[in-house]
Amino acid sequence: MISIVVPVYNSQSYISTCIESILSQTYADWELLLINNGSADNSLELCRSYADKDARIRIFHQEKNEGVSVARNLGIREAVGEWITFIDADDWVAADYLETLLGMQEKQRVSVAVCGYKKVYEKDRSAAAGVLENKSMAPEADTGRELWTLWDRKRFIAEHMLAGNVHCWGILFETAWLRERSILFPEGITIGEDLIFLTEAALAAAHVAVTEYTGYGYYINPAGAMNRAFTPAFMDQIICWQKAGEKILALYPEFRETMESICLVSVMLVVGKLAQADPKTTEKYEECLRVCKEEVRRLAEKPGVRKRLPSGYGMKVALFRYAPGLYLRLYGRWKG
């Protein structure tokens, strides 16, 4: 059995598409754990309407929103399935998503299997929900090349995580494997919790099965956490990359330049959010700005880091480092 964990918070506009995609799975031995995080809309009622029709759906209700980490950790504790996967309430999966990932697990005998995903924006959401790729996991007839590969831990970290794929969805985990290693989501963090969880899992896995098959639809939600106005919670992104970096570099010090350049980019992303904050509220974020300035200075001085920055970031870093006020005004005006 596969346990599917879906945290739900004010998701009435999206949750039906998510649940319907799960009900349409070609692999039927699953349970769906809907963790309602104190939704103030009609989400809980929608979830109950589905649970009334399908005994495989279980609902857990939390009176207040305690965060996605608390919800997912509850799912890990309550899961009955041998395998577990996480899906966000505003996303959806292809009909053969579970069958494909489970086939990889059974073929490769690994505890972690990862598939590709499709980014979907608001204007394309309705059409995209019905056209996710549905590939067979059989070897391709024309080349004999199998649609999955087995990566060792180092390659997975280098080519997947350090390439920007630090989400927990689109992945099938062995439930007992997670529990035995106490791999859980960090609670009290609102941005970057996936990164910490995936870092722990990657470092514990000798190998990971990876496929280019696109089985997960990732909705770029305009109301999502990364698209909201700045709050001090955005500093979690910096903290999470620092923590992940410490763990990864302890095993692979050769990733130092890459990891520190990623940390520098994460700081600049937070700076960008600060630049867009209401000028009337910026005074209360002075400490956040101070931390960003110090991190940019520290990381920019590290040898080899700036040469690994994405295009355009070298100029951004230099301007913010030497004229932070000017950078904030210019960036805020540009984005405003």
Residue type, 186: P
CB atoms within 10 A of CB 54: 12
pLDDT band at 3 (very low <50, low <70, confident <90, very high): very high
**Residue 336 identity:** G
- All structural domains of the chain with their residue ranges: 2-225, 229-335
- Alpha-carbon distance 169 to 212, whole Å? 15
Give the Cα separation of 68 and 48 in Å (integer).
Answer: 20
Give the pLDDT of residue 147: 72
In the structure encoding, which two tokens stand for residue 135, read together?
């590939």
What CA–CA distance (Å, rounded) separates 237 from 72? 19
Closest CA to 263 of 206, 326, 195, 173: 195
Would you say residue 42 has pLDDT above 60?
A: yes
Contact indicator for 115, 100 with CB cutoff of 8 Å: yes
What is the reported pLDDT for 225?
Answer: 63
Q: What is the pLDDT of residues 94-148, one digit of tens each?
A: 999 999 999 999 888 999 999 999 998 887 777 666 655 555 433 443 333 457 8
Nearest-angstrom CA–CA distance, 162 and 166: 8
Q: What tokens does 335 get?
A: 């984005």
Rounded Cα distance between 3 and 191, Å, is 24
The per-residue pLDDT for range 257-299, each reduced to its tens digit, is 999 999 999 999 999 999 998 777 667 899 999 999 999 999 9
- Predicted pLDDT of residue 122: 80
Give the CATH H-level superfamily of domain 2-225: Spore Coat Polysaccharide Biosynthesis Protein SpsA; Chain A (3.90.550.10)
Which pLDDT tens digit goes with each residue over 196-210?
999 999 999 999 999
Rounded CA gap, 37 and 34, in Å? 9
Report the SS3 class of residue 162: coil
Residue with tokens 């995936």: 198
Cβ atoms within 10 Å, residue 243: 16
Tens digit of each residue's pLDDT (9 = 90 or more) over 300-334: 999 999 899 999 999 999 999 999 999 999 998 88
Tell me the Ramachandran region of residue 304: left when phi exceeds 0, alpha when psi lies from -120 to 50, beta otherwise. Answer: left
Residues in the chain: 336
* CA torsion angle 122 2 94 91 (round to 10): 0
**Residue among 199, 181, 179, 180 at smallest CA distance from 189:** 199
Fill in the DSSP letter of residue 213. E
Largest Cα–Cα distance in the chain? 63
- Tokens standing for residue 226: 């990364």
pLDDT per position as a tens digit, 189-245: 989 999 999 999 999 999 999 998 999 999 987 766 666 778 899 999 999 999 999
